[in-house]
Amino acid sequence: MLWHVVKRVLQSIPLLLGIATILFVVMHLAPGDPVEMYLQKRGERSANGRPFDPQMEQLIRHKYGLDRPIPVQYALWLKNLVRGNMGESFQYRRPVSALIADRLPYTLQLTALALVLGAIVGISLGIASAVKQNSALDKAVSLGSLTVYSIPEFWVAVMFILLFAVTLRWFPISQTRSLDYFLYSTTGRFFDRIWHLILPVAVLTLGSAAGTARYMRSELLGVLNEEYVVAARARGLPEKRVVLRHALRNALMPIVTIYGLALPFLVGGAAVVEKIFSWPGMGALAVDAVGARDYPVIMATSMIAAVLVVMGNLLADVLYAVVDPRVSFDGRRTG
């Protein structure tokens, strides 16, 4: 299987190259001269439009390679990309890779927790409602998960803050730590972080659990109608075993692969929540960059996003092959 994985990775390279190219083209088509905007930000240009220092402009252009012809810029960009050099952010004047390294752990704290908790809650609820189909529990879970899934996440976040932070004052409104964080002991800091994590993770978990519950329920219901489940009962196996060993094993397979596809979510899926809670994560970085026309960051995060989607697909396929004995990794279903 390893060979097939490698082969798939190699096959993705042209795709990623294509995406990089399109990205480059799109960025250069966009209105607005990045250098002007950069200078505006830095206040080099006065409010009533007096021209700024042309020498400064030249310097900036040269520094970012924006004075070279386009094809050269393209080639340079690709070369740097492969090396892992994603340029320097206009906004923060730091290497993009450093920015990402800083922010990634913060995002992971939110998304990884939300995925795990969402899986636990969602799978359990999904099983319970499928097994007791059409019961009060089932109807509640079905409607509830659809409702949660429909309500916009950012609004839930704002409402949570309103309720739990502003009104009830149980949790902090935003940020990753309290003001006197540095005065805390290690355990104090640990708990302080957790205290700050709870609201954003709760918001993310709701969405994740709702989606998972719906999916689990429908998969399990589908499996429970399969003949091998009826046959298992016909053999006199206890109902618990029939559901949890025979039916569930089959129903979980697509769920596992869905989690493979969640790879991009792990890195960027919490963007809005991060913004609302002032959480310094990858998603917030991307959103801010778009607003600020910070092209190096925009391009870097876009490439990362594309790479993650491709890898996520790959991961999903690998997981499927691992979990389903009928599927071999090169994608062919045997039998």
Partner 1 sequence: MLLSVRNLTSYFFLDEGVLKAVDGVSFDIQENETVALVGESGCGKTIVALSLINLIPAPGRIIAGQVLLSGEDVVTTPKDRLRQIRGGEIGFVFQEPGSSLNPVYTVGHQIAEVLQTHRGLTRKEADKEAVRLLGATGIPDPEKRAKSYPFQLSGGMRQRAAIAMAISTRPKLLIADEPTTALDVTVQAGILDLLEELQQQYGMAILIISHDLGVVAQIAQRVLVMYAGKLIESAHVDALFSSPKHPYAQGLLDSVRLRADRNAPLRGIPGSVPDLLRLPGGCTFHPRCSVSDLSCRTQFPPMLPLAGDRSCACYRVHQ
Partner 2 sequence: MGDELADRAFIDVPGMPVEMGPPAQGFRTPWSIAQRRFVSNRLAVAALIMIALLSVAALLAPILAPYDPTAIEHVLQTRYLPPSWHHLFGTDEFGRDELSRALYGARVSLAVGVLAMLVAVSVGTLYGAVAGYAGGWIDNLLMRALDAFTAFPKFFLILLLAGVFEADIGVLILIMGLTSWTDTARLIRSEILSLKQRQFVEAAHAIGLPDYLIVWRHLIPNALSSVLVSATLMVGGLIGTEAILSFLGIGVHPPTMTWGNMIQAGQDALFIAWWMAFFPGVLLAITVLSFNLVSDGLRDALDPKALTRRYV
Q: What does the block give as tokens for 301? A: 């995060």
Write down the least CB distance from residue 226 to partner 1, Å: 7
Which partner from the list partner 2, partner 1, none does 72 bind, CB cut-off 5 to 8 Å by kind?
none
Q: Which of the stretches 82-90, 160-168, 226-234, 271-279 binds partner 1 when contact is defined by CB under 8 A?
A: 226-234
Which partner from the list partner 2, partner 1, none does 249 bind, CB cut-off 5 to 8 Å by kind?
partner 1
Residue 68 binding partner 2, by CB under 8 A? no
Number of residues that bind partner 2 (CB under 8 A): 43
Q: Are 176 and 105 in contact (CB under 8 A)?
A: no
Write down the least CB distance from residue 3 to partner 1, Å: 22
Question: What residues between 257 and 286 interact with partner 2 by CB under 8 A?
Answer: 264, 268, 271-272, 275-276, 286
Q: Is 117 left (phi over 0), alpha (psi -120 to 50) or beta?
A: alpha
CA 83 – CA 89 distance, rounded (Å)? 17
Residue 185 binding partner 1, by CB under 8 A? no
- Which residues are registered as beta bridge partners of 327? 333
Which partner from the list partner 2, partner 1, none does 286 bind, CB cut-off 5 to 8 Å by kind?
partner 2
Residue 164 binding partner 2, by CB under 8 A? no
Write down the least CB distance from residue 182 to partner 2, Å: 27
Write down the least CB distance from residue 158 to partner 2, Å: 5
Q: Is 209 exposed, middle or buried (0-12, 13-18, 19+ CB in 10 A)?
A: buried
Which partner from the list partner 2, partner 1, none does 253 bind, CB cut-off 5 to 8 Å by kind?
partner 1
Residue 238 binding partner 2, by CB under 8 A? no
Residue 154 binding partner 2, by CB under 8 A? yes
Question: What residues between 311 and 330 interact with partner 1 by CB under 8 A?
Answer: 324-326
Write down the least CB distance from residue 283 to partner 2, Å: 9
Question: What residues between 250 and 309 interact with partner 1 by CB under 8 A?
Answer: 250, 253
Q: Which of the stretches 97-105, 124-132, 210-218, 249-257 binds partner 1 when contact is defined by CB under 8 A?
A: 249-257
Q: Which of the stretches 3-11, 13-21, 100-108, 202-210 binds partner 2 when contact is defined by CB under 8 A?
A: 13-21
Which partner from the list partner 1, partner 2, none does 287 bind, CB cut-off 5 to 8 Å by kind?
partner 2
Q: Which of 230, 278, 290, 330 binds partner 1 (CB under 8 A)?
A: 230
Residues that bind partner 1 (CB under 8 A): 225-228, 230-238, 241, 246, 249-250, 253, 324-326, 334-335
